[in-house]
Amino acid sequence: MTLLYQSYNICANYVQRRIRQYFTLISIIPFAGLLLTIALVPLWKSHWWERHTNKALCALLWSLPAFYFILPAPHELLLTFKDYVSFIILLSALFIISGGILLEGDIKATPKINSLFLLIGAFIANFIGTTGASMLLIRPILRTNQERKHISHIPIFYFPGFKHWRKPNSSGRPAVIFRFFKRVPFFWTLNLFPQWLFAVSIVLIIFYFFDRYNYSRETKESILLDNSSIKPITVSGKINFLWLAGVIIAVFLPFPYREIMMSLMASLFSANN
């Protein structure tokens, strides 16, 4: 009987694991469908996709299967909604405030300078998010390289790089923020810092030599024009760094004081601009 009971438990556990794996695979379909819709529908029905109501309709239709799983658990749905609102407030505050910081200038577009831009973007994306880092650096990057002709590789390295190069405990990283909202220690992922540093170093080296090769293909006229159009990098809206610091500090506060302080920082930014 004991052997039969153990055999039954083994079979039952196996069936449960298979069922969980099956539903895990099934649950991916709506998300994959939404991504394919975003990628393909604009190519097929571009004018139809321009209307925000149509985008919202597609998102709603692909979200319908999720209601089957979440409606029987209203408490978990409410907690997830609360975390979602908190995260949207955080991203909105970072997006709004970082938009008020303006970097201007035109320095030499050498491989060393472009690599330095990439490294700075990877670093500050930890604090103001990838969107904030992109908004902050897009102007000086484009103006610095505007005299060069062979720069098609720069967007490929830069803006995806800001997204993937955030440190594991980035305050602009969704997974980390949600873990922190669930009371997971904020700095525990710093154990992955060596791996992050290794990845950053590898891509920086690849980018540097790739940019160096393209720089060698530039004409003498482009190089002379670049060297004669030097303007120092200047920063406007320095006061907004104070509001950004307030948002980052607010991450460590409990709900709802966290959301109140983030909203306050964004409001103070709007009142001073």
Of the two residues 166 and 262, the one the predictor is more confident about is 262
Same domain, 38 and 155: no
Same domain, 110 and 223: yes
pLDDT at residue 111 tops 70 = yes
The Cα 166–Cα 245 span in angstroms is 18
Mean of per-residue pLDDT scores for the chain: 78
> Does residue 272 fall inside a structural domain?
no
> Does residue 263 fall inside a structural domain?
no
- 8 Å CB contact between 58 and 34: yes
> Does residue 43 fall inside a structural domain?
yes
Of the two residues 106 and 191, the one the predictor is more confident about is 106
Long-range contacts of 238-241 (CB under 8 A, 24+ apart): 238/101, 239/272, 240/97, 240/98, 240/100, 240/101, 240/269, 240/273, 241/101
What pLDDT, in 10s, does the model give residues 39-59? 888 888 888 988 889 999 998
> Does residue 150 fall inside a structural domain?
yes
Same domain, 65 and 110: no
Q: How many domains are contained in the chain?
A: 2
Same domain, 50 and 168: no
> Does residue 151 fall inside a structural domain?
yes
State the Cα torsion 140-143-148-151 to the nearest 10°. Answer: 50
* One-letter amino acid of 2: T
The Cα 184–Cα 181 span in angstroms is 7
Same domain, 46 and 113: no
Which residue is listed with tokens 């991450």?
251
Same domain, 231 and 119: yes
* Confidence grade of residue 162 (pLDDT, cut at 50, 70, 90): low
What pLDDT, in 10s, does the model give residues 186-205? 666 677 778 878 888 888 89
Same domain, 120 and 187: yes
Contacts of residue 60, defined as CB under 8 A and 6 or more positions apart, other chains included, come to none
> Does residue 194 fall inside a structural domain?
yes
The Cα 147–Cα 76 span in angstroms is 54
Same domain, 151 and 40: no
% of residues, the chain, pLDDT over 70: 77
pLDDT at residue 36 tops 80 = yes
> Does residue 267 fall inside a structural domain?
no
Rg of the chain, C-alpha, whole Å:
24
pLDDT at residue 225 tops 80 = yes
Same domain, 232 and 113: yes
The Cα 27–Cα 36 span in angstroms is 15
Same domain, 114 and 226: yes
Same domain, 198 and 146: yes
Structural domain boundaries enclosing 24:
2-72
| Spacing of C-alpha 214 from chain mean position | 28
* Confidence grade of residue 8 (pLDDT, cut at 50, 70, 90): very low
> Does residue 229 fall inside a structural domain?
yes
Same domain, 62 and 113: no
